[in-house]
Chains A and B, each alone.
Chain A
């Protein structure tokens, strides 16, 4: 065994894999290093370099210091806004998607494939195309410039993905399970709650990761349908980078990017090992 692990062909594979990993991680390394260099140091030297002095203050400024026009509170309030949108929208879209996926895969009814098709059609509509329709909807129900409006948008738009994921997972569940439960007198929701949901952990984790990441990183709707201090964290990040008459604040920007990426990173670390497993479930029958 030992010999095989060090066989030339193995070593070559490791080398290639290491090289790819290094190339993949290089941008992250630059961001991490720059998050510890002062803006001046970066401007006076170059974008890539080792910190001369550890500028930990970048993190303090990014978290609670820098100004977005009149408001000088750093990322903190915007992180909260993003959480207030992302968490409910993730939970709602995942739950509704699970129910929808369960309905179209295990409760066949007339036109179920059509409904499934129409729901997943949402995947192919570009974001910009949906911007105006959403404007009209939010205006008519009075939710423009509210975080609730954003939760609604992301819940509904998330349905395309979550329904797709859950449906593909549930089609692999033996139909006999459902039939047996029905003979025992269980209805639609009882079967979902007692039988399907306990089987769903891998796919629910996948959809949660997927939805959380997408909603957290979303910018277009976040900046169009909120105002002032309700803006999401992506808007605050862009605000940091869009100065005209200033040297780009690479140091603070890098620190801010890392802080803003932490929640999604955390979700990946917690649920990552389910990710590939859940995605491929039901792919090969």
Chain B
């Protein structure tokens, strides 16, 4: 087949000629390449990481993303296998205190220079910054933020309660729930039955009662705070919430209740900001619900932070190193954070991004404003239920106590406090 060969050669030759300018530009530097693993594969999470990859490629990089579908455990197994095989990904999704824990098993990249160049540290929440520089050096970068304690109000349930004021404190929240109940809303609180659901109610309660106590008890595991009056008050509040919700949730996803919530058969939902995207994707309208920061007894917004991040693993290959630098720059870039959050419904990590423009929802604007205010009043804390405050084992021990307390109404708040302190002691 002499003709084909010639044609092929011709093609190859012309392709090479076309690529020449690119080669010339890249002279002296390698083409940045990034191997990444994340659990983001489906829906808007998958779409967002794909869009990030496109940007990486636009900057001349080679994007090699391997999604590890499933939950955190699967991704950790994969990561451990890759590290043991001597082939860690150049960067991988990881969040919360797990960053510090995992950074001990394999060498990470020192990102201090590139973070300083971007001036990133000044524009993000201090508690969040700390998580990503466990040994004093930046080794991981947060990418997007969700608040886990946003308050969603059903318009129809509000109508039934003849109420129009958004509750700010827990007392107002309880008032509204009573009014809803009296107005014919069978379950003033909508809740799911998955692992984080009950934990989220408890952290919202404690942080809303006292962010200082929250920090001491759930972030620093201070024994006195764990057994303190605020923790007990939080359990009292959670019992109220438990009495107002439909006990028949089983292990259901909170979204199973959305229809009843919008119809006004359930009144309020304390859920992460992501629920907004879920409501929208389920075909409900913005007019059906209101989003506000979760209750806070000192009236200033309390923000329970849940932030996704990337950790960077040391590699010797120059192209991977170049890829890591490019990736770090992209992750910190306000334009990239805007693009990412607009796809997933989260908010940017940077507090200096302007959300007034098109592409943002009111819920996102309110969330971002809440974050800014919360940082200013030192009330931005790390979420327990979403693995930001403690490592997995500790989180699981605490959530077990909370879930049992929610389901078993014979446990008294003071007993719950003791159980909580014991569970923490046991898991230490």
Interface of A with B (CB < 8 Å)?
39-40, 43-47, 66-70, 131-132, 135-136, 138-139, 144, 219-220, 223-225, 227-228, 231, 235-236, 238-249
Contact = CB atoms under 8 A, between A and B. Distances in A.
A219 B40 CA distance: 17
Contacts of B43: 243-246, 249
A69 B345 CA distance: 17
Contact of A244 (B64, B69, B84, B274): B274
Interface of B: 38-47, 49-50, 53, 63-71, 74, 77-78, 80-81, 84-87, 253, 255-256, 258-259, 274, 277-278, 281-284, 344-346
A66 B66 CA distance: 16
Contacts of A67: 41-42, 46-47, 50
Contact of A46 (B63, B85, B259): B259
A45 B259 contact: yes
A68 B46 contact: yes
Contacts of A243: 42-46
A176 to B, nearest CB: 51
Contact of B278 (A45, A47, A139, A246): A246
Contact of A225 (B45, B63, B81): B81
B41 A223 contact: no
10 contacts: A68-B41, A69-B41, A136-B84, A224-B77, A228-B64, A238-B70, A243-B42, A243-B44, A244-B274, A245-B278
A167 B403 CA distance: 47
B85 A138 contact: yes
Given A43-B259, A224-B81, A238-B69, A245 B346 contact: yes
Contacts of A231: 69
Contacts of B256: 46-47
A251 B92 CA distance: 31
Contacts of B255: 43, 247-248
* Most chain A beta-carbon contacts within 10 A, residue among B47, B67, B281, B344: B67
A228 B68 CA distance: 8
A247 B44 contact: no
A245 B274 CA distance: 5
A200 B259 CA distance: 56
B42 A132 contact: no
Given A239-B69, A242-B39, A247-B255, A135 B44 contact: no
A40 B70 contact: no
* Most chain A beta-carbon contacts within 10 A, residue among B69, B70, B277, B281: B69
A219 B53 CA distance: 26
Contacts of B50: 67, 69-70
A260 B85 CA distance: 31
A135 B69 contact: no
Given A43-B283, A245-B44, A246-B44, A239 B67 contact: yes
B196 to A, nearest CB: 11
A69 B278 CA distance: 19
* Most chain A beta-carbon contacts within 10 A, residue among B44, B74, B277: B74
Nearest to B76: A224
A242 B69 contact: yes
Given A68-B69, A69-B65, 10 more contacts: A46-B256, A67-B47, A69-B49, A144-B85, A223-B77, A228-B64, A238-B74, A242-B41, A242-B70, A245-B281
Contact of A40 (B42, B77, B282, B346): B282
B277 A227 contact: no
B277 A246 contact: yes
B274 to A, nearest CB: 4
* Most chain A beta-carbon contacts within 10 A, residue among B47, B84, B85, B284: B85
B162 to A, nearest CB: 26
Closest 6 CB pairs of A and B: A239-B69, A246-B43, A243-B43, A43-B282, A239-B41, A245-B277
A69 B40 contact: yes
Contacts of A47: 256
Contacts of B77: 131, 220, 223-224
A43 B258 CA distance: 7
A279 B343 CA distance: 53
Contact of B81 (A135, A228, A242): A135
Given A224-B77, A247-B281, A70 B346 contact: no
